[in-house]
Amino acid sequence: MTEADRPSQPGRIEHQAQGVLCFSGDWTLPHYAMLRRQVERFTDRRSTDRDVVDLSRLGALDTAGAVLLVELIGTEQLAHLQTWAPKLPAERQALLCSVADAVAASSPLESGRALPVRDFLGATGQQVESLWQQQRLLLGFIGQVLVVLARLIWHPSRWRLTALVSQIHRTGLNALPIVALLTFLVGAVVAFLGTTVLRDFGATIYTVNLVAFAFLREFGVLLAAILLAGRTASAFTAQLGAMKANEELDAIRTLGLDPIELLVLPRVLAMIVTLPILTFVGMLSGMLGGAMVCSLALDISAFHFLSILQRDIPLEHLLVGISKAPLFAFLVGVIGCLEGFKVSGSAQSVGEHTTSSVVQSIFMVILLDALAALFFMEMGW
């Protein structure tokens, strides 16, 4: 009778004398449930005692049974299978070794003891690697945008002015009320804080200088850029992500058009145009809020407030603040478009990359603002 004609006998595990663990019967998928229960009973004892394994009476074997044998015997012992089981048929040796290698490759730390420090360092390394890959991708995308922009400068007929004007309307004009309101309120808060602190030194008149310096150099451009990062970068990501999910980007490429030229450049250029304007509006609104507090709490009239600005605040502070706006706008626009292109096609992916675009944009704006502040301070500007 051949092995194929022989009736199937469920596999068994027998613990014989002198620590011999004997495997017999068929270790195949039809008997998997029963074999799993036997393996679970022997697993705890095997963790403390190392047995001599006998596979001479092993019957039929498939991948399901081989996985259970690997789990019970261990990948380290199966690495020397040919040494202690030379009479096992070559095809079964090959199957057990292949399954053992696959298990060892998929869970190299399975047999090791869990170490919180190692897990923390591993997770930290993965986060650093992910951040590095993300920054490399951002630099590559910035290069693509600049190349397309340089190519279009010499071909005015390919400029998409209608799309540019539409994006300026969406990103600039529609954002004016919220930028003006927020900076007005922050200007009032800064003036209140200045009044509270400077009153103890009898220098409340310098509240005007505090508000002017803060908004001309930092708060005006920073608040406007953060608002655009949360309002506009997320919109760019959602729009482009929805287009990718609907395969509209593939259709654009099929028509022979460049998505960067068609979709990215109008949005980025609109941001570069609108953010300096919003920054200027934010500066004026912030100083107007500070002037209101000075008028109500310090009896500093609007005329006196303006005369102090004209006398003590140089024009270079306004130029320093405005000069940072185009760079912030370019980065916010590029990050928002890049995250839209990275959407995988599902609604969940759209939400994740929209959140990522806002976080990255705000982080980059604050980081560059800090570096710019250090640079201008060292330059004495």
Q: Is the same domain home to 142 and 102?
A: no
Q: 65 in a domain, yes or no? A: yes
* CA 122 and chain centroid, separation: 18
pLDDT tens-digit series, residues 280-326: 999 999 999 999 998 888 888 888 889 988 888 888 889 998 999 99
Q: What is the pLDDT of residue 274?
A: 94
pLDDT tens-digit series, residues 215-272: 998 899 999 999 999 889 999 999 898 888 888 888 988 888 888 988 999 999 999 9
Q: Is the same domain home to 184 and 333?
A: yes
Q: What is the pLDDT of residue 368?
A: 92
Please count the structural domains in the chain: 2
Positive or negative, the CA dihedral 34, 36, 39, 41 is negative
**DSSP structure class, residue 216:** I
Q: Is the same domain home to 145 and 86?
A: no
Q: Is the same domain home to 148 and 101?
A: no
Q: 291 in a domain, yes or no? A: yes
Q: 130 in a domain, yes or no? A: no
Distance separating alpha carbons of residues 254 and 250, to the nearest angstrom: 6
pLDDT tens-digit series, residues 21-32: 777 777 787 877
Q: Is the same domain home to 250 and 361?
A: yes
* 146 pLDDT higher than 80: yes
Q: 118 in a domain, yes or no? A: no
Q: 122 in a domain, yes or no? A: no
Q: Is the same domain home to 208 and 278?
A: yes
Domain of 175, in residue numbers: 138-379
Cα dist from 137 to 87, 118, 230, 243, 250, whole Å: 55, 29, 21, 20, 20
Q: 124 in a domain, yes or no? A: no
pTM above 0.75, yes or no: no
Q: Which residue among 83, 106, 129 closes a domain?
A: 106
What is the radius of gyration, based on Cα positions, of the chain? 34
Q: What is the pLDDT of residue 344?
A: 82
Q: Helical H runs in 26-171?
A: 32-46, 63-73, 75-78, 81-84, 90-106, 116-153, 161-171
Q: Is the same domain home to 93 and 217?
A: no
